[in-house]
Structure 1
């Protein structure tokens, strides 16, 4: 399994950050690996909401279906699946006035033969996490 974690101090109130991040469709704005992310069900975003996320990694395109597993005022957990990998994005928020500390944890559990590649991919996922930590504060500042 590969796990990465980044912390970001954002100049936005926690409620705004939570609403923005709860809509996984916004990943196209802040996750440099995401090419498209489409909501699969109607209605307001809530626990159980689903998205199809298309990402590009090492020149290959892959689709995962994500589900919002946990939606609390201080935490969001998204879990995505396909035949090769299970991805979990665990996001916690800590409010401090009009500022929010976001801790973003992403983990990838590979299935089948793909498990053998995991040790060789850690560095690339670390770089992607760095890019998220750089991009997300800028995107939210502009919103």
Structure 2
């Protein structure tokens, strides 16, 4: 299993940050590994909403279906899966003096033979988390 975590301070209100991140369809704008993200259902973004993501990692495309498992005023949890991996994105926000402390945690649990590759992929996931921590505050600031 691979776990990465990054904390960021954003010059936007916490409610606005949470609302933006709750729509997983915005992911291609702030996650450099995500090429597309399409909502699979309709209606308001709420627990149970689902998206199909297409990501590129190490030159390969992969698709996962993500579900919004938790939508609370200070936390979002998305769980994605395909045959190879189960991915969890856990995002917390906390207001602090007109700014927002945003903590992004990603966990990847590989299935089958892919589990053997997990230790070799850790460094690349750390780099990807660094890229998210660089891009996400800028994207939120431009909104």
TM-score bin, normalised by smaller chain: over 0.9
Within a 5 Å distance, the mapping from 1:2-81 to structure 2 comes to 2-81=2-81
Local SS of the residue matching 2:53: strand
Alpha-carbon displacement from aligned partner over 1:45-89 (angstroms, at most 9, x marks no partner): 000000001000000000000000000000000000000000000
TM-score by length of 1: 0.99
Q: Which residue of 1 aligns with 2:115?
A: 115
Task: Extract structure 1 runs of 4+ deviating beyond 6 A.
Answer: none
Q: Which residue of 2 aligns with 1:135?
A: 135
CA RMSD of aligned residues (A): 0.5
Local SS of the residue matching 1:16: helix
Tell me, which stretches of 5 or more residues in structure 2 are unaligned?
Answer: none
Local SS of the residue matching 2:41: coil
Per-residue deviation at 1:11?
0.1
Per-residue deviation at 1:97?
3.5
Task: Kindly tell me the number of residue pairs found equivalent between the two proteins.
Answer: 143
Tell me, which stretches of 5 or more residues in structure 1 are unaligned?
Answer: none
TM-score by length of 2: 0.99
Question: Separation in 2 of the partners of 1:97 and 1:135?
Answer: 22
Q: Which residue of 1 aligns with 2:87?
A: 87
